[in-house]
Each structure stands twice: as C-alpha cells, then as structure tokens.
Amino acid sequence: MDKKYKLNIYEKEIYIEFYGDIDDSVCPNYKEEISDIVKNNKNKNLVLDFKNVTFIDSSGVGFILGRYNQLKTNRKKVYITNTNTQIEKLFRISGIYTIIGEYKKAKEVVK
C-alpha cells in the first residue's frame, strides 16, 4: 500500500494530512503505522487534516477513536481539521466532536 498521508512532526504536535479514502482497505495499515508514530511522540497532540479526503467510513471513525484512546492515557488530545461537508456531517452525527477537538482551519494549529 502506498502511504496516503503526509506526516509532519512539530514541537507540540503530530500533524497528518490524509489523501483519498479512509476506509477498511487502509485503516489496518494506518492503525499500525500511526500508532507507532504516536507512541514514539507521546508528549505531542495529534492533528488529523482531512482537506484531501474524499470519503471516510466507520472503520475510519474507529481509527480516529483508537488514536484518541491511545493519546488520552498521556493527557494529550486529537484534533480534526479541514473536513468537507459530507465528512463534517458524519462526524457530527457520530458524536465524534463531543470528545475530539476541531480546528476550522489548519492555520489555527499551533505548531
């Protein structure tokens, strides 16, 4: 599988910009790779940028919640930014924003 994300690690945050679909075909690899990245940078918050994501399914939502659970043990947070209207609606309906922060624009991120 080709990586469909771009990773940047800043002083206070891990910033991941995803591309294409986030579904059951990519989530197992994302889970493994990004879990390791988070584990190796456990003192940083995680920002997930969906600007270039065209589709996300329930396995994608599960992936996000898994990273939330991974980070909350270190009192760090997950933030979501740049969602399109369809993904925004899915996240609102699923209640994901009740536990995960949202940046309306990526430039709000403190790097």
State which fold the 21-108 domain adopts: Transcription Regulator spoIIAA (3.30.750)
Q: Which two tokens stand for residue 40?
A: 């190796």
Domain boundaries of the chain, sorted by first residue: 21-108
Q: Reduce the DSSP state of residue 25 to 3 states and report it.
A: coil
Ranges 40-49, 58-67, 97-106: which has the least confidence? 97-106
pLDDT over 70 (residue 111): no
Residue 110 pLDDT: 55
Q: Which amino acid does the sequence have at 8? A: N
24 φ, ψ (degrees, to nearest 5): -65, -15
pLDDT over 80 (residue 109): no
Q: What whole-number percentage of the chain has pLDDT above 70?
A: 91
pLDDT in tens, 15-40: 999 999 999 999 999 999 999 999 99
pTM for the full model?
0.90
Q: Which two tokens stand for residue 2?
A: 């080709």
What are the start-end ranges of the H helices in the chain? 27-40, 58-72, 85-94
